Amino acid sequence: MEKPHKKLVAWQESVKLSILIYEATKYFPDEEKYGLVIQMRRASVSIASNIAEGAARKGKRELQQFLNIARGSLSELDTQVEIAYRLGYFDKDKKSEIDALMEKVDRLIYGFLKSVQK
C-alpha cells in the first residue's frame, strides 16, 4: 500500500530538492562538512519529512502545522543556499537551479496549505 504523502506533488518535488542539495554540497570544503553541509542537508530533508508527517495526521490543524514547519525549513534552506553561494561554494547556474526548485516547492506547499484551510 502506497503511503498518502507519496502521491503529493509537494512531497515529490521536495524529495527532488533534497537530492539536489545533497549533490550540490558533495564538494563543499572539508571545513563545511559539519557546518553548512549538514545544516543544508537537514533543512532539505526536513521539508519532505514534515510534508509526509503532516499527511499522515488525521486533523487539518496538525497538517497545517507540519506544512508551516516545512515552509520554515524551506526558508532556512534558502538562507543557507545564499550564504553558500556568496562564499563561492557553487556557481550561479547551480544556485539558479536550486532557487527555481525551492520556489516551486514553496508554491506547492503554499497551495496545499491554502486548500487545507478551506
* Grid coordinates belonging to 9: 506533488
Q: Work out the number of other CB atoms within 10 angstroms of the CB of residue 48.
A: 24
Residue 26 φ/ψ, nearest 5 degrees: -60, -35
Classify 3 as helix, strand or coil.
Answer: coil
Contact 11, 52 (CB under 8 A): yes
Query: What pLDDT does residue 65 have?
Result: 96
pLDDT in tens, 5-26: 999 999 999 999 999 999 999 9
Query: Which CATH number does the domain 4-19+31-117 belong to among 2.30.30.90, 3.40.50.1820, 3.40.30.10, 1.20.1440.60?
Result: 1.20.1440.60
pLDDT at 1: 67
pLDDT tens digits along 50-88: 999 999 988 899 999 999 999 999 999 999 999 999 999
Map out the domains of the chain as residue ranges.
Answer: 4-19+31-117
Q: How far is CA 10 from CA 6, 41, 48, 111, in A?
A: 9, 18, 8, 9
